[in-house]
Structure 1
Amino acid sequence: MAQRFEAAIECFAPTLPLAIGLSGGADSTALAVACARRWPGQIQAIHVHHGLQPAADGFARHCEALCSTLGVALTVCRVNATAAPGQSPEDAARKARYEAFDTVALAANGSFAIKSIALAQHADDQAETLLLALSRGAGVAGLAAMPARWERGGVAWHRPLLQVPGADVRRWLLEQGIAWVEDPTNSDTRFTRNRIRAQLLPAVEAVFPAFRDTFARTAANAWQAAGLLGEIAQEDLARVGVPPALAQLQQLSRARQANALRHWLRHHHQTTPSAAQLAEMLDQIAACTTRGHGIRLKMGRGFVVRSGLHLDWYDAGAMSA
């Protein structure tokens, strides 16, 4: 039912001008076409050329041809998306994309200064992300999956198709007679997300036909809960200080200690502890009753240490560089 796609576009109300993340696949092609028709002269497109596969040049040519037809300005960003040691290829490519989008948004000016950026992930993508989070034992932040809207670098980011099944997007494109390109890596079952798409989602749909809607509600509820936990963490960090004072931390419940410390590490040091690392840190804090009790724990890519009456963190890589 292509009507769900059309309804999503009708409800989409970004601040203009708007940039579309355009990969050349069905989802971003449909989003670019629909937005260009709705807001002529107010749309730009950004294509990130990862250079990771031979088909990448073909993706760029498709985007150039499409944007020429639509009368939409296109920026092609060539990036280095090679994964660092210990980093997954998917994470490396995602990081490179967002950095490219930020660069284009900052460079835009005048009548085409970008106010909003739209990405084309849909309901199937959201379900896959939620299942990946469940498989990793994620907390509410992970179960929130992909937000529909957020702010980054003074720009509003949107995912207007999160309630639309991928099949509906493709059906709309077929009705319009518009071509797209297929990423050959999407059928590579070495990637977990592709196995979920090919093997797990059909089985889930057979048992729970409305899973896309219910999974989306779960993600939205988790997003709200994660926001509340973030507010509590900020309040607690205002009490215990940054870096956190041990005595003040010990006055919090274990759950609030964990929430505050996770927030401190993520937002102040861009690292996320594992569940086991966080549990060990909480045990050490509980046992820290004398001035001579030292703490030095591996945490993310660095270490949490006791520094006088406080906890502190340092980046092991930066220290050895």
Structure 2
Amino acid sequence: MSTPLAPANPCEQALAAWCGRCGGFDAPVTAPVAIAFSGGADSTALLLAAQQRWPGRVVALHVHHGLQAAADGFSAHARAFCATLGVRFEEARVNATHAPRQSPEDAARQARYRALAQLAQQLGAAGVLLGQHADDQAETVLLALSRGAGLPGLAAMPERFERHGTLFGRPLLALPSADLRAWLLAAGHAFVDDPSNDDQRFTRNRIRALLLPAWEASFPGFRPMLARSAAHAAQAQRLLDELATIDLAATGTPPALAALQCLSRERQANALRHWLRGTAGAAASAAQLDALLDQVAACTTRGHRIHLKVASGFVTRDGERLRYAAPI
């Protein structure tokens, strides 16, 4: 009797499709391909698929946050797993303590991206692949909706992006977590579960534990639909960015008040968001942007002063133009 074939890793097809859509990473074929490897189910399945696609080129990057007692165990498991595969393992230890008024999740995420980018650059890697999947994308969309986010938030996580001078890719955004775990269990691959994922003090964990099951019960197979909505939002945002580039070419940078006033209020808002984001990485709240638009409309005399708090800095009037002053 013939031995049944092992099930195919669903990540292999997803990775191939992502490379077809996004072009993989534009680098020499000898450059390492880095995988952000926590030892969890999603990054384990991705690491195995990457090793199958690029044998001998894959490097696992592990970030040790030091935020919980289990972190040493995650590191030991990840290192041992890579040793069995013959995959190079690199680890960075970071201080992910959050600042006042900063969420612990945001502090850990920022520290993780900085560490991954630094490791990838030291290795000369073509880029870093991340294991976020369809459930993560659905959680991101629902989180954005709950916060009243605009198109950038509703666009959720992009498939390919650059941060800290390093390219990142997310090839698994169409794959549900259950499919990854089912394959790993069927294939006999070990992985770790982060106990903090069950802590419902964190908003994303409450969405995962409470909202996603309710959506699944009411709308079976909803994840691809949320992903499609996110893709539509991303496309619309790209068009708005193109329009803002055209309008800022006409107003100048920083924008001239008279030229701004020739635009509709909606186009003013779009251009100002784009200018603030591109100039200082500043994101104005809805209330701040409305107040700024009111001041632009009222600015009809030389003596009209503008000094408005936006994000962590101020938008001011400097002669016939707006200026953004970041905090010192």
Question: Could you state the TM-score of these two structures normalised by the residue count of structure 1?
Answer: 0.93
Please name the residue that 1:188 is paired with: 199
1:34 maps to which residue?
Answer: 49
Please tell me whether residue 288 in structure 1 is matched to residue 294 in structure 2.
Answer: no
Pairing of 1:6-155 with structure 2 (within 5 A): 6-13=12-19, 14-15=24-25, 17-108=32-123, 113-152=124-163, 155=166
CA distance in 2, matches of 1:65, 1:215: 37
Structure 1 residue 2: Cα displacement: 7.0
Structure 1 position 248, deviation (Å): 0.9
The corresponding residue for 1:300 is 311
What do the CA deviations read for 1:253-293 (whole angstroms, capped 9, x no partner)? 11111111111111111111100000000001000111111
Is the contact made by 1:2 and 1:168 (CA closer than 8 Å) also made in structure 2?
no
Q: Distance in 2 between matches of 1:253 and 1:281?
A: 14
- Matched residue count: 313
Counterpart code for 1:147: P
What secondary structure, in the 3-state scheme, does the structure 2 residue paired with 1:228 have? Answer: helix
Alignment-mate amino acid for residue 235 of structure 1: I
CA-to-partner distance for each residue in 1:7-55, whole Å, 9 max, x for gaps?
Answer: 3134343335311011111111111122113321010111111111111
Shift in alpha-carbon separation, 1:65–1:154, aligned structure 2, 3 A: same
Task: Return the match for 1:245 from 256, 260, 268.
Answer: 256
Instruction: Give the percent of matched residue pairs that are identical in Structure 1 and Structure 2.
Output: 60
How far residue 252 of structure 1 moved from its aligned partner, in angstroms, is 0.9
Deviation at 1:154, TM superposition (A): 5.8
Q: Identify the match of residue 214 of structure 2 among 197, 203, 208.
A: 203
SS, match of residue 35 in structure 1? helix
After superposition, the C-alpha distances for 1:87-123 in whole angstroms (9 at most, x for unaligned) are 1111111111111122112212xxxx31121100000
C-alpha change, 1:153 and 1:81, in structure 2 (3 Å) is closer
Letter of the 1:136 counterpart: R
Structure 2 Cα separation of the partners of residues 45 and 3 of structure 1 = 18
Could you tell me whether the CA contact under 8 Å between 1:2 and 1:169 is conserved in 2? no
- Give, in whole Å, the separation in 2 of the partners of 1:55 and 1:155: 29
The Cα RMSD (Å) is: 1.6
Moved more, 256-265 or 151-160: 151-160
Q: Deviations over 1:209-258 (max 9, x none)?
A: 12111011111111111111111111211111111111111111111111
Give the corresponding residue for 2:246: 235
Which letter maps to 2:54? W
Q: Is the 8 A contact 1:173 1:179 kept in 2?
A: yes
The Cα of 1:3 is off from its aligned counterpart by 6.5
Write the distance in 2 (CA, Å) between the matches of 1:131 and 1:10.
Answer: 28
Q: Which runs of 4+ in 1 moved over 3 A?
A: 1-6, 151-156
The alpha carbon displacement at 1:155 in A equals: 4.4
1:264 is the counterpart of 2:275: yes
The separation in 1 between residues aligned to 2:128 and 2:250, in whole angstroms, is: 36
Q: Deviations over 1:283-320 (max 9, x none)?
A: 0100011111111111001111111111111123x1xx
CA distance, structure 1, for counterparts of residue 164 and residue 94 of structure 2: 20
Tell me if 1:165 matches 2:171.
no
Secondary structure, in 3 states, of the residue corresponding to 2:59? strand
Q: Residues 282 and 12 from structure 1, CA distance in 2 versus in 1: closer, same or farther, beyond 3 angstroms?
A: closer
8 Å CA contact retained: 2:11, 2:46: no
Q: Secondary structure at the match of 1:303?
A: strand
SS of equivalent residue, structure 1 residue 90? helix
Most deviating of 210-219 and 33-42: 33-42
Residues 11, 45 of structure 2: 8 Å contact kept: no
Query: Which 5+ residue runs of structure 2 have no aligned equivalent?
Result: 1-6
For 2:108 and 2:235, the matched residues in 1 are separated by: 28
For residues 253 and 12 of structure 1, what CA distance do their matches in structure 2 show? 39
Q: 1:2 to 1:136 in 2, by over 3 A?
A: farther
Q: Which residue of 1 aligns with 2:4?
A: none
Report the residue type matching 2:72 in the other structure. Answer: D
Amino acid at match of 1:305: T
In structure 1, what is the Cα distance between the partners aligned to 2:8 and 2:126?
28
Between 197-206 and 232-241, report the one with greater CA deviation: 232-241
| Maintained 8 Å contact 1:250/1:286 | yes
